[in-house]
Structure 1
Amino acid sequence: MTSKNFPTFVKGEVVKGFGRGSKQLGIPTANFSVEVVNSLADDLPTGVYYGFAKVESDEVQKMVMSIGWNPFFKNNQKSMETHIIHNYDDDFYGKQLSVVILGYLRPERDFGSLDELIKAIQNDITDAESKLEEPNNKQFLTHAFFNN
């Protein structure tokens, strides 16, 4: 993964996803529309990414994001699912989500069980939190992109 892909800035309205994040995985996600997913650079490979996210006027938070087909669930439509590493009381469908993608964690892959998938996501969250503490990443917490 080359650094020419980063940072990648994305904004869009949160739409209803597949309904699996909170219900099946216990890891809620905010989903972008198909139009936003299709607007990503063609050379941005599928997989798991990390960066920062902001819901409307809330504070900027760490995030981990899956971009791809989610092989475990055998999606037939590419998705972009953002897990914001923060506890929210309510969902935020219809609100503006701004994300800056700063790095690539791993390619997407299939898993033998739901428990294996959950464990991998938890590891992704831990890895993202660590990488986002690095000064070259932390500087994006206050990036002008989040103030527009």
Structure 2
Amino acid sequence: MAAPAPNRPLVVGDPSGPFPPYPLRMSGQVISGFGRGSKELGIPTANLPVDDALTPWISSVPSGVYFGWASLNLPPSHPDSTPTPTTPTTTETEIPDWSSSSRTRGANGFTVYPMVMSIGYNPFYKNTVRSAEVHVLHDFGADFYGAEMRLLITGFIREEKDYSGLEALIADIKFDCEVAKRSLAREGWAPRGVDVEIDLPGEAGEDRGVEKVVMRGELDCAWLIRPSQLPKEKGDEEGK
């Protein structure tokens, strides 16, 4: 990876954790987007509806790139679906305490992943409608349109901008992903009570492989894994 630009730090935010107005919450069912993430960029994204009525804060935040945690309630048939351990029902402030050596584990059907996202118009593509595009930092075996997704947005990385070409856009997005991983891999930013797995590359410019780091921190992420409020489909109820 090329050395970062002088004005692009590898880590953002105070080590102690997010400061107001963060963390911000956003949720909904994953919808189809512009179809460019995987095809043109090689960076798949999951879109959530941008609705001021459901997410009042979204109209007041600057367009740009954000980072934080995403939880997904994948159907049992999905190849990345994680069996939920038997635990007491969680509340807004109580989280079951367990660990996982290889997978991020949640509760009530939800699995927690690090994420980076853009909110805005994407000037490179000249979008006319504001969108929320989430890149979950995990390699999924299949799409998950219609799945319930919750976002705990912990901080801001940079403002959106236009680019001279596709390669420059992709390079900036990949750097955003690295910033998100490194910023979240700190005790004040990692979820409390749930182990999360982050792939951390070597320092910029180093020829070093990716290291999987299992984090457990102090950030209250109970909302991400509380029981779903959406009606279950018949296949989900039957465990099919």
Shorter-chain TM-score tier: over 0.9
Distance 2:32 2:187 in 1: 34
Q: Deviations over 1:94-126 (max 9, x none)?
A: 110111000000000001000000000000000
Structure (1 or 2) with the larger CA radius of gyration: 2
Aligned match for 2:144, one of 92, 99, 103: 92
Aligned match for 1:144, one of 222, 235, 240: 222
Distance 1:92 1:52 in 2: 17
Aligned residue number for residue 25 of structure 2:
9
Aligned residue number for residue 45 of structure 2:
29
Aligned match for 1:44, one of 61, 64, 72: 61
Distance 1:141 1:68, change over 3 A: farther
Aligned residue number for residue 54 of structure 1:
71
Aligned match for 2:169, one of 87, 93, 117: 117
Q: Deviations over 1:5-42 (max 9, x none)?
A: 20001110000000000110000000011326972413
Would you tell me which structure has more strand in proportion to its own residues? 1
Distance 1:58 1:77, change over 3 A: same
Distance 1:66 1:141 in 2: 28
Aligned match for 1:63, one of 115, 119, 124: 115
Distance 1:141 1:93 in 2: 28
Q: How many Å apart are 1:134 and its aligned residue?
A: 1.5
Between the aligned residues of both structures, percent identity stands at 39
Aligned 8 A contact 2:63 2:159 in 1: yes
Distance 1:34 1:9, change over 3 A: closer
Aligned 8 A contact 2:46 2:135 in 1: yes
Give secondary structure in 2 for the equivalent of 1:123.
Answer: helix
The two structures, once aligned, show a CA RMSD in angstroms of 2.0
Distance 1:108 1:9, change over 3 A: same
Distance 2:193 2:65 in 1: 20
Instruction: Give ranges in structure 2 of 5+ residues lacking alignment.
Output: 1-12, 74-108, 195-220, 227-240
Q: TM-score, normalised by structure 2?
A: 0.58
Distance 1:52 1:86 in 2: 12
Aligned 8 A contact 1:52 1:141 in 2: no
Distance 2:193 2:151 in 1: 11
Counterpart residue type for residue 144 of structure 1: A
Distance 1:101 1:75, change over 3 A: same
Distance 1:78 1:99 in 2: 17
Distance 1:7 1:102 in 2: 4
